[in-house]
Amino acid sequence: MELYLDSVDFKEIEAALDFGFVKGLTTTPTFMHRHGITDIDGAIVKLSKMVPELQVEALGETPDKIVAEAERILALGLEKPPVFKVPISNDGVKACQRLRARGYRVNVHLIYTLNQAYMALEAGASFICPLAGRMQDQGHDAIQLFEHCVDVIDRYGYDSKVMFSSVRYAEHVRQAMLTGVHVCTMPFSVMKSLCENTLTTLGTAQFREHTALMTMRVADLIRPENPVCKASETLTAAMVKMTESRLGAVTLVDAKGAVAGIFTDGDLRRRLQADGRNILDKTLAQIGFSKTPVTIARDRPLDEAVKLFKKHQVDSIVVVDGDKPCGALDIQDLVKLGLLGQEFL
């Protein structure tokens, strides 16, 4: 079943063509009106240069006028001859037969009955095009009509394709494939949803998570900021470093630069609640800090860091190179990657 886009939105068309296998574009005057297009001829010329195949309306009150409109469109200087869309009618099938005799392809559309489809087939239509959504809006069995059209073509050997149109949702595409139609034209909103599935999304996220856990190292995730303080520095200095780094902790180091502890934003809140603002000028040694921070070497697998976060229920882990801090892991970074759930925040 060939895939066509039903649109006149140039951005949508470019996005759809990026798939690489969209075979063509169907348009209608209604779409152009809704999209605010006033230069219809200019739009047709532009579209003909964008898509592998353009299907465009050729309207007229008589067969002669329909053919004349098709010839006028051809004279616009299109990239290649389009498929002319002609509504089903006695005049429409006459015009279809004449256009086919001149070597042009025709899509006879707005078909709602098998008898209409039969007349289009006899006229040599390249495509016959019932409208699923519109038929179903009126309570008709659109799917059965598509099945009958495919069966008639197969039974009598007509050289025509059945196009499934007026697609409203992804289920229509599934039904189109099951009926055996040759072409399905759809809005971009439906086209881009066809690969979507909740189970697929969950499975993909799980594969990415496990791949990251097996292949990424702690060093791949640590932030460039590495806020450190000495125990002799004030709480205010620690607050400034936490704010500037956008991390919720500073690492305490000794005189040799080795890890000596950690002071977190949780510690800050608890100290302020207990002792008030008078502690802002006190040193971290006077206030107190954790002398047993959770640490991990920078070359360790990320899986080990995840296990440490789960085990110790902390927000930050100090990353070390030897005994010196070289950065920090923030739990939010692992949550963003999907390696930890929101419940750990």
Looking at the annotation, which residues are catalytic? Answer: 85
Say how far apart CA 335 and CA 345 lie, in whole Å: 8
What lies within 8 Å, CB to CB, of 338 at 6+ separation is 205, 208, 209
Say how far apart CA 231 and CA 294 lie, in whole Å: 18
The two three-digit tokens of residue 228, written as one number: 């450190």
Task: Write the DSSP symbol of residue 11.
Answer: H
Among candidate residues 207, 214, 223, the one with its CA nearest the CA of residue 333: 223
Coil, strand, or helix at residue 318? Answer: strand
Location of structure tokens 């329909």: 66
- The answer to whether 162 touches 150, Cβ cutoff 8 Å, is yes
In whole angstroms, how far apart are CA 294 and each of 191, 209, 306, 318? 49, 23, 12, 6
Strands 249-253 and 259-264, how do they pair?
Answer: antiparallel
Is 14 buried (19+), middle (13-18) or exposed (0-12) by CB count in 10 A?
Answer: exposed
- The answer to whether 330 touches 223, Cβ cutoff 8 Å, is yes
Say how far apart CA 131 and CA 146 lie, in whole Å: 9
Say how far apart CA 325 and CA 327 lie, in whole Å: 6
Longest dimension (CA), the chain: 98
Location of structure tokens 């800090």: 289
Q: Alpha helix locations (H) across the chain?
A: 10-17, 29-34, 40-50, 63-74, 90-101, 114-122, 132-137, 142-156, 170-179, 188-191, 198-215, 218-221, 235-245, 265-275, 284-287, 302-312, 331-336
In whole angstroms, how far apart are CA 181 and each of 122, 156, 164, 173, 290? 18, 16, 7, 10, 70
